[in-house]
Amino acid sequence: MSLSSVQSTLSTLKSCQADIGACMDMVSDVALGIVEAQGDPALKKLEEMILECSRLDREINYFVESVDEKTAQVRREPPEAMFHLRNSVKERFTELTAGVTDADLQRHSKVVAFRDSVRKYAMQAGQTAAENEEELDEDIAVTQIHICSGVFVKMVNPVKNKKCVHHYDQEAVLEMIKAKHKNKKKFRCPKVGCGNADVQRSDLELDLLMKRMIQNHKRQSGKT
């Protein structure tokens, strides 16, 4: 086993981790559809699925941490230490995972977002039609989002800024942040009057509730 092969394996694992995150978003989206159809029993199964994804995500994090820690240690030791790398990583990984509790899995950001989205969507479904329409109109009003001078785009995958709570289209805002950072500038929240002068990629989270509302609005309006 060489250190280069170890790093290659870690890179593959991190790619799998991104897939796990996407899967968790899909489970949350399906859950909103179930809430809409009032299929409460199925929600329990989806919650079990997203908790299992949370466990896998945490195990990958711990495995990567174990490998990073032990490979750094091996680099400082004689070459024959490589022969013990597999066992030392396994031991460290076992130590880290032994302390994982159900409460830890429940605190995963996507598990929290799953429950929050389901709760909010259930509340929305319980509103009267008039209240729903009024709230929907307010939300749809921000789906035409101002990105920069004279440029407006329609939100497809809405993300919410955790700091100022404003929404943007995911693809558009990430491109703008990338362009600004390339020129060594900060990206200011495009919402008129917002004081957030430095929007970071890490500030953004996918808003599945808003996405669902936009999709429903399009269907009701006969749009594609």
Q: How far is CA 84 from CA 60, 73, 203, in A?
A: 21, 11, 41
**Long-range CB contacts for residues 135-138, cutoff 8 Å, separation at least 24:** 136/213, 136/216, 136/217
How crowded is residue 93: how many other Cβ atoms within 10 Å of its Cβ?
19
Average pLDDT over all residues of the chain: 79
The model's confidence at residue 52, banded by pLDDT at 50, 70 and 90, is very high
pTM > 0.75: no
14: which 2 tokens?
A: 């991190």
Give the residue, 68 or 126, on which the prediction is more confident: 68
In the chain, % of residues over pLDDT 70: 79
Question: Domain 158-222 maps to which CATH number in 2.40.10.10, 3.30.2290.10, 3.30.40.10, 3.30.56.10?
Answer: 3.30.40.10
* Dihedral sign from CA coordinates of 148, 154, 205, 172: negative
Domain boundaries, the chain: 3-129, 158-222
pLDDT given at position 141: 43
The amino acid that residue 143 corresponds to is T
Minimum mean pLDDT among 115-119, 214-218, 219-223: which range?
219-223
Dihedral pair phi/psi, residue 30, rounded to 5° = -65, -40
Containing 105, the helix (H) or strand (E) segment is helix 102-106
What is the pLDDT at residue 82?
Answer: 83
pLDDT at 184 over 80: yes
Rg (CA), the chain: 22
In a 13 Å sphere around the CA of 159, the CA atoms on its Cβ side amount to: 19
How would you class 223 by CB atoms within 10 Å of its CB: exposed for 0-12, middle for 13-18, buried for 19 or more? exposed
- Residue (of 68, 66, 62) closest to 100 by Cα position: 62
**CA-based nearest residue to 15, from 51, 64, 54:** 64
